[in-house]
Structure formats: structure tokens, C-alpha cells
Amino acid sequence: MFRLDNKVAVITGAGSGIGQSIAKLFAAQGAYVCLLDVDENGGRNTITDIHEAGGNGIFLPADVTDQAAVRKIMEDLVEEKSALDILVNNAGIAHVGNAENTKGKDVDRLLQVNVKGFYNCLHVAIPLMKARGGSIINMASTAASVGIPDRFAYSMTKGAVIGMTLSVAKDFISYNIRCNCISPGRVHTPFVEGFIAKNYPGREKEMFEKLSKTQPIGRMAQPMEIAYLALYLSSDEAAFVTGSDYPIDGGFITLNS
């Protein structure tokens, strides 16, 4: 079950954290993975691990805000592999602030990566997937569904991700293109560690414990736990699943309400 043999997958933000775990798991399940990330060291380390484990794929440094670069990568990939079966829109950035103290430049930056970046990948990938269908997974967040203090711009962009997911699922269902999104709670990744260190210097341990305990299950998720859900949604076993948002949050949304 859940094999991805003969499938070609593009995964953005695959140099670390959730994207890295998805890339490694997909490769282990038989997919050819094309990893995109602005972090060249992280991306190269990820693809090296995949190759050493017997998987197949390539890492290409790429900024998802550059539509021309995304187009060239995906079109070249399809020319070489004759297919694009899976797109995982994972690359994203965060921000701390509310509607009063968030600066316009910060909103613009998050919109470029978290919304325009997703759009760029969707805009390019969908025509390439029409011939034989496929699965698209957009990484949203629990922040799109509940109010989280000081996450105004981030929550806004992740709400847009859910909206994009529903639109794509509706518009391209006749082409057998499925589109779903995953809304993780807090996940223990280098991204989260860096986020805490940047925004709460000197209080890292305190904030890590505090953020962990906001989830009723009492801890943060591990990246691979998110990857397993992405694997299911990308597999043939999920052929009847589209247009859905999947919270994976240790009970954060439902048990805290």
C-alpha cells in the first residue's frame, strides 16, 4: 500500500523540516523526487541522503517566487520524465505580529512566498498534469482555522492556501487532478527552532515548552508524522479524496475550542 512507483513528484521547501521528510518518504516509496529550495546546502544534503538510501531524484535550487524559474524546472522535468504526478507546495515563511504592528513590507514578503509562490507552482504544474491526472498537496496551517495571537499575516496567507486548494479541486476535477491541503499544528523542525530563537532570544526553552503544551496531546509533531499524511494523499489509495483540508494538530483545533 501507498507505493509511488513510476510517479514523479515536485516538492518545494524540501531542504529541511516537513518538506525534507516528505521528500525522503516519497523516494523510499518509489517516487522520482524533484526537490526545490532556496537553501542549497539543505537541498543537497537531502538529495544525498535519498541517493544513499537507494532513492531516485534531483535537487534544484529555486525560488518559488520566480515563476519563470519554476516553469523551466517543471517543463524540463516533464520533458525528461514524461510526467508530473505529484506537487507538494510546502515552501513558506512565518511572521510574528498583529494587524496594528505588522508592516506593509512584511505582508508583501509573506504574500510573495506563501501565496504567490504557491500560485506560481500551481499555474505551471496544472497544465503539465492534465494528461494523466495527479495529486496536489498544499501546506496550510491550523492558523488558517483558529485565531492565534500575533500571527496576522501568516494566518492570512494560510487562509488563502485553503481557498486556493478548494478552487483547484473544483476547477480541475474533470482532469483527475486531486487537490487537498494539510494543516499542521506546531511541528518540531529547524524552522521552528530558528523562529523561536529569533523572536524569543534567551527564552528558547521556555517558549518551546509553552508552544508544545498548547496542543492537547502535549507535544509538537515530528516532521515524518506530517509526511505520512502527505504520502496517503498522494497515493492511489486516496483516489476518492479531493477538496479537503486535513488538520494534523494533536487536537489543537477541536479540543481547545
Q: Which residues are catalytic?
A: 154
Helix (H) or strand (E) holding 137: strand 134-139
> From CA 169, how far away is CA 147, in angstroms rounded?
26
Residue 84's nearest CA partner among 33, 18, 159, 150 is: 33
Neighbours of 144 (CB within 10 A): 22
Sign of CA dihedral 35, 46, 4, 53: positive
The DSSP secondary-structure symbol of 138 reads E
Helix (H) or strand (E) holding 60: strand 56-61
